[in-house]
Amino acid sequence: MLSTQPYKGARDFYPEDKRLQKYIFTKMRDVVERFGYEEYDAPIIEPLELYLAKSGEEIVNEQTYVFEDRGGRTVTIRPEMTPTVSRMVAARRQELSYPLRLYSIPNLWRYERPQRGRLREHWQLNVDLFGMSGLAAEHEIIQVADAVMHNFGAKRTDYIIKINSRKFVNYMLSEYLQLNDVQTSTLIKIIDRMAKTPPAVFSAEVDAVFSPSARENKLPEQLLHLLKTNIIDDLPLPLRSHPSVERLESLFTLLHQSGMTNVEFDTSLMRGFDYYTDIVFEVFDTDPENNRAMYGGGRYDGLISLFGVEPLPTVGFGMGDVTLQNFLESHNLLPKLKPETDAYIVLIGDVYVRAQAAINDFRNMGLKIAIDSTDRNVPSKIKAASKKGIHYAIFIGENELDSEQFVLRDLIEGTEERHSSSRIVSIIKDRRKK
Ligand code: HAM
Atom of ligand 1 nearest to the CA of 82: 27
Alpha carbon 351 to its chain's center: 49
Delineate the domains of the chain, giving CATH numbers in brackets: 15-330 (3.30.930.10), 343-432 (3.40.50.800)
Residue 206 binned pLDDT confidence (cut-offs 50, 70, 90): very high
Residue type, 376: R
3-state secondary structure of 314: strand
Q: How far is the CA of 209 from the centre of ligand 1 (A)?
A: 28
pTM of the model: 0.94
| CA distances to 101, 272, 280 from 162, in Å | 23, 15, 8
Residue 291 has pLDDT above 90, yes or no: no
Mean pLDDT of 82-88: 97
Mean pLDDT of 75-95: 97
- 395 forms beta bridges with 346, 407
Number of other CB atoms surrounding residue 306 within 10 Å: 18
* Pocket, ligand 1, Cβ cutoff 6 A: 80, 82, 110, 112, 118-119, 122, 124, 126, 128, 293-297, 316-320, 322-323
pLDDT of residue 54: 73
For ligand 1, atom 18: residue with the closest CA: 118
Residue 434 binned pLDDT confidence (cut-offs 50, 70, 90): confident
Write the DSSP symbol of residue 233.
G
Residue 207 has pLDDT above 70, yes or no: yes
How far is Cα 247 from Cα 282, in angstroms, rounded to an integer?
Answer: 17
Mean pLDDT of 150-166: 97
With pLDDT > 90 as the criterion, what percentage of the chain qualifies?
92
Q: How far is the CA of 337 from the centre of ligand 1 (A)?
A: 27
Mean pLDDT of 193-209: 94
Tell which one of 11, 51, 80, 85 to mutate to probe ligand 1, the residue whose CB is within 8 A of the most ligand atoms.
Answer: 80
pLDDT in tens, 308-320: 999 999 999 999 9
Strands 263-265 and 159-165: parallel
Q: How far is the CA of 295 from the centre of ligand 1 (A)?
A: 6
pLDDT in tens, 254-266: 999 999 999 999 9
